[in-house]
Amino acid sequence: MDEQHLKPIRDPQPMLERTIAEWGGHEDLWVFAYGSLIWRPDFDFTERRPARLHGWHRALKMWSRINRGTPQCPGLVFGLLSGGSCQGVVFRIPASAGLETLGQLWLREMMTGVYDPRWLPCVTSAGRVRALAFTLSRRSPNYTGELPDARYREIFAQACGRYGTSLEYAMQTLEGLRHHGIHDAALARLIRLAEVRQHEQELAQEDAQVSASSDDSRHADALNLSLPLTTVTTPTKERS
């Protein structure tokens, strides 16, 4: 998410203190990842499992004005919105490293206080775990609301921030999910929108090149037609 260059929406410190108190510090810490944390966690962990979270879903509906875009051309990152279900990954962090890891997560995810941290039950193949998840409220100013396909295509083609483009971010997340055997049809569809646009742009460029080549050929033909004809005469032999 976007960090120190944006004014905080809320003070993140009280939310960190509440999260620590709710965790308690006596058991291992579990963190639910649904976006870039899947493929770039940036913290040490002892276990990682695919997990399903009911009542929430992953959505590329959060504005990013630093990391994946700019204030003038905002990009998109994932938020965890209420409703449906979400397949992701849970990370297990030893209790002894929990406080340090929470501090790292707050520096990465909560500098502006945009997320609502929640302890949510996640279902895994080895049983249910209570994990920390960073959810997004639809009342947040960073929530995009519903975006038409044309707007996604535009953002994928133009938005780029300090960590790269929104399209790269989306593609890396899709690849990270597939690595864990998770299929996200909605995300795959959005990326296909970008691929179709890119293909259309390539075809348009090819058409422009063909048209330019045809124009050059017609121009050359016109020049040839405008040149005066040169008559070549053959000298006759003198009669003796």
Active site residues: 109
What is the rounded distance in angstroms from the CA atom of residue 70 to the CA atom of residue 160? 7
Strands 47-64 and 116-124: antiparallel
Strands 75-93 and 47-64: antiparallel
Residue 30 · residue 131 · CB < 8 Å: yes
Task: Give every CB contact of residue 13 below 8 A, 6+ residues apart in sequence.
Answer: none
Helix (H) or strand (E) holding 106: helix 98-109
- Phi then psi for residue 171, to 5 deg, are -70, -40
Give which of 93, 148, 109, 106 is closest to 19, Cα–Cα. 106
Residue 134 · residue 155 · CB < 8 Å: no
